[in-house]
Structure 1
């Protein structure tokens, strides 16, 4: 997991090239004007999903895990808490893998941590890392966010 701000170039310059491409997309958009839905960046290799929804209590959600895509989650408006943990065999799947949407759900995440996103902050989750986005800090809020899906094959170290 990586956590940062899209405009902190001094630090972001050390990120992998494909993550920098995702941040470049974010920095070149008027994020508040992006319409909900899919926005192609590089076909199925890299695309953005923009969504508006209400946050909920973390206890009411399950964590998601991806196999093929990296998530670059960036908050556009509101405040969002994301719980996450490292991959562990103790994080048992509660649903079958949905290949078309690249995810399965995990009921419990062992040794959970959390980050709180403010507008223009981002969190990167790699395949295999359970994460529970859309959680509320204190009370439900409407948020707008963009999740850039990056095909894991694009990550070259």
Structure 2
């Protein structure tokens, strides 16, 4: 897991050949003119999910992905997130959903932290994460980057 300010995003471009495309999408995002939901970048290799979130039930479930790395960016508002090493998760809720690339766990996060506006978190398949742990309105971009 990586947590940083968007001004430092170029530091991480060398970690994956598609990270730059994801950060370019974030840098070009217009808060006054955007499309919620899936936004194409390069097909299923990398795409963006844009959310305008209000009045949600707080999430307490950890989730993991096998096929995609998440770059979660806060455009507006804050998001309290939880983290736990995937290998330490022992309480699965259901089976892995390959179509949605997600497995949920009811384990308690090892750490919780607030992600503020203009900050991003990179979650790898080894990172179990629980976004939206508090009911706070936010505009958020999740860049889904296919693993190598």
Coarse TM-score class (shorter-chain normalised): 0.7 to 0.9
**Would you say the 8 A contact 2:72–2:143 is kept in 1?**
yes
Pairs within 5 Å for 1:126-141:
126-136=124-134, 140-141=135-136
Distance across 2 between alignment mates of 1:42 and 1:151 = 10
Give the C-alpha shift of residue 85 in structure 1: 1.4
* Greater strand share, structure number: 2
Q: Which shows bigger deviation, 11-20 or 34-43?
A: 11-20
Q: 1:12 to 1:67 in 2, by over 3 A?
A: closer
**Would you say the 8 A contact 1:79–1:117 is kept in 2?**
yes
Other-structure match for 2:53: 53
SS at match of 1:135: coil
Give the C-alpha shift of residue 133 in structure 1: 0.2
What TM-score do the two structures reach when normalised by structure 1? 0.82
1:148 aligns with 2:128: no
Q: Which shows bigger deviation, 11-20 or 141-150?
A: 11-20
Q: Which shows bigger deviation, 74-83 or 14-23?
A: 14-23
Give the C-alpha shift of residue 31 in structure 1: 4.1
Superposed CA RMSD in Å reads 2.1
Distance across 2 between alignment mates of 1:93 and 1:121 = 29
Give the C-alpha shift of residue 14 in structure 1: 5.7
Other-structure match for 2:5: 5
Aligned length: 147
